Structure 1
Amino acid sequence: MSYFTIAGVQMHALHHGDNTEAMRHRVDVLMSRFPQVQMVLFSELMPLGASPHHAQAMPSAAEAMFCQLAEQHRIWLIPGSMFERVGESVYNTLSVINPHGHVVARYRKQFPFLPYEAGVESGSEFVTFDVPNVGRFGVSICYDMWFPETTRTLAAMGAEVILHPTMTDTIDRDIELSIARTNAAVNQCYFFDINGAGALGNGRSIVVGPSGDVIHQAGTGEEVMPIEVDMNRVRRERETGLRGLGQPLKSFRDRRVDFSVYRSENGSAAFLDTLGPLAKPLRADIEEY
């Protein structure tokens, strides 16, 4: 099967609180209106809000509710992400749930939004999963996409669609829209960048095709976006090139350049070490008159 329908959900929710029942209602309404949908994707930290104090060990009661919801509607469900507690550590974790209500993968955000997402540990494992007879999907979360190596790695693992929940309520959302388009184009894949609305994001979710083309960009309010993707389009463009032109994945595979910056013993280049600590900017002292 080449065609597959994914619905991104951009919704208002509480910044600190339980939004799971509102999400359940949204899925019920969505599936009633658009029964062709096969996968539903929410934004980052939508279920329980943006405070690490709400972190839970997984599997959790919230995750179990989403498993029941996925099985009820026979859909793949990615309910955004939740803070996960593992001993003394907290991770920003995404669950992938199949139509049988089983968690088939969990992904821990590799790049917490430091220094602002303080107290959250970095994950270290890339995650892809296969939808049988459809194709391979990869997942990442919010700030991950600012690092091109993350999406490139998922593409190298065979991902044809990147599912990317985000929670952006800041003035850099316009830059993220460009990054989403770039990630899709240079990796020749679909890119679903789904943001929250209101307290959990300023909206403007975007769905991008494998040529970097904008399939849909949401406004700033609540919106449901059922999008049919064509896996054969990804495969064809990876074979013949973006618009019949550039073939970036093949060129990356066949490269002769050695990116030595990635082989530095301390993990960085000398110049990067001059940039100072990863910390919030402070207010400059102003002389009082």
Structure 2
Amino acid sequence: MTTFNIAGLQLALTANQDNFAIIRQQVLAAKRRFPALDMVLLPELCTFGPAPRFAETLPGNTENKYCELAIEAGIWLCNGSMFERDGDHIYNTSSVIAPNGKVHCRYRKVYPFLPYEEGISAGNEFKVFDIPGVGRFGLSICYDMWFPESIRALVWQGAEVILHPTLTNTVDRNIELAMARANACMNQCYMVDINSAAGLGVGQSVVAGPGGEVVHQAGDQQEIIVLQLDLAYLRRVRQQGWHTLGQPLKSFRDTAVVFPQYQQQRSTYLDQLGKLEKPAGRNWTSETF
């Protein structure tokens, strides 16, 4: 099989409440409308919104409900992410569930959105997984994409499709669209970047192909994005270049350069930037004006 049918659900959801019933309804509706659907990808933290108080140990009740949903729909299902409690730590964790209801892979976000995503611990593994007869997929969550090393780490392990749930409701969403395309072309992969619509996010989900081309760009309203990914096309791009042009993965593989920033040492320049903390406001006093 060289094609794979995936739906990204850019849903209008509400923060600080349980959205699972709405999500379930939309997943089942997508499968009924598109019977050939192989996978559904949900946005980051879509079930409860960005509220760590809803954190659960995994496996747990909410993940189990997603497992039942995957069986009911007969699809691969990525729940976007949810907060996972593990001892004294809380992680932003994505689960991928097979059509038989088994958790196939879990990934803990390596780069929490600090200093704003307070109290969330960082994962330390980049996760890829195989879908038999299709190809290799990698997991990335929101702010991870701002660090090109993270996507490269997945592709270095053979990932062809990057599942990238996100939750963005800020003015930098347009910049993320550029990064999604850049990561796709630099790594000759599909980037499936799915955001929530208004309520939680600002929408504008994007799917980019292995040449950095826009396969689909959503607006800001709720949208069910159903696409057929062509893995044979992707492999041809990696072997021959996009339109027979650059072959960056081969050049990266063959270079003799040892990148100094990846060695176990700190940058004296970066140390001068100060602490990772929220910018302070001006100290307005009556003497100022």
- Matched pairs, number: 287
Map of 2:186 onto structure 1: 186
2:271 is matched with 273
CA deviation profile, 1:11-52 (whole Å, cap 9, x unmatched):
011111111111000011111111111000000000122111
After superposition, residues 247-266 of structure 1 pair within 5 angstroms as: 247-265=247-265
- 1-structure distance, mates of 2:252, 2:274: 32
Counterparts of 2:285 and 2:244 in 1: how far apart (Å)? 60
1:193 to partner: Cα distance: 0.3
2:225 maps to: 225
Q: Does 1:101 align with 2:97?
A: no
Residue in 2 that maps onto 1:44: 44
CA positional deviation for 1:250: 0.5
Give the Cα–Cα distance (whole angstroms) in 2 for the partners of residues 227 and 233 of structure 1.
Answer: 14
**Partner of 1:92 in structure 2?**
92
- Alignment-derived partner of residue 121 in structure 2: 121
- TM-superposed CA distance for 1:264, in Å, is 3.6
| Amino acid in the other structure paired with 2:96 | V
Deviations 1:134-193 (A, max 9, x none): 100001000000000000010110001000000000000000000000000000010100
The one-letter code of the counterpart of 2:154 is: L
Specify the alignment match of 1:285 in structure 2.
283
The two structures have a TM-score, normalised by structure 2, of 0.98
1:151 maps to 2:151 = yes
Alignment partner of 1:253: what SS?
Answer: helix
For 2:3 and 2:103, the matched residues in 1 are separated by 23
1:20 aligned onto 2:20: yes
- TM-score normalised by L of structure 1: 0.98
Give how far 1:242 is off: 2.0
Q: For the residues of structure 1 that align with 2:270 and 2:110, how far apart are their CA atoms?
A: 19
Letter matched to residue 155 of structure 2 = A
Cα distance in structure 2, aligned partners of 1:167 and 1:287: 36
Cα deviation code 1:251-287 (max 9, x no counterpart): 001112111121143xx31100000000001112234
User: How far apart in 2 are the matches of 1:133 and 1:180?
Assistant: 26
- Cα-Cα RMSD: 0.8
CA distance in structure 1 between the partners assigned to 2:61 and 2:23 by the alignment: 14
Q: How does 1:159-174 map to 2 (within 5 A)?
A: 159-174=159-174
Amino acid across the alignment from 2:276: L
Q: Which amino acid aligns with 2:260?
A: S
Residue aligning to 1:130: 130
**Aligned-partner residue type, residue 12 of structure 1:** A
Corresponding residue number in structure 2 for 1:82: 82
C-alpha distance in 1, partners of 2:269/2:199?
Answer: 38
CA distance in 2, matches of 1:5, 1:281: 43
Rounded to whole Å, the distance in 1 between the matches of 2:69 and 2:283 is: 53
* CA–CA distance in structure 1, aligned partners of residues 243 and 284 of structure 2: 54
Sequence identity (%): 51
Q: Which runs of 5+ in 2 are unaligned?
A: none
Query: Counterparts of 2:245 and 2:153 in 1: how far apart (Å)?
Result: 22
For residue 281 of structure 1, give the secondary structure of its aligned residue in structure 2.
Answer: coil
CA–CA distance in 2 between the matches of 1:32 and 1:173?
31
Question: Which runs of no fewer than 5 residues in structure 1 stay unpaired?
Answer: none
Please state how far the C-alpha of 1:79 moved relative to its aligned partner. Answer: 1.1
Letter of the structure 2 residue corresponding to residue 286 of structure 1:
W
The secondary structure found in structure 2 opposite 1:271 is helix
Give distance in 2, aligned partners of 1:243 and 1:285: 56
Partner residue in 2 for 1:33: 33
Give the Cα separation in 2 of the matches to 1:124 and 1:48: 24
For 1:264 and 1:204, how far apart are their aligned partners in 2?
Answer: 38
**Distance in 2, Cα, partners of 1:190 & 1:264:** 31
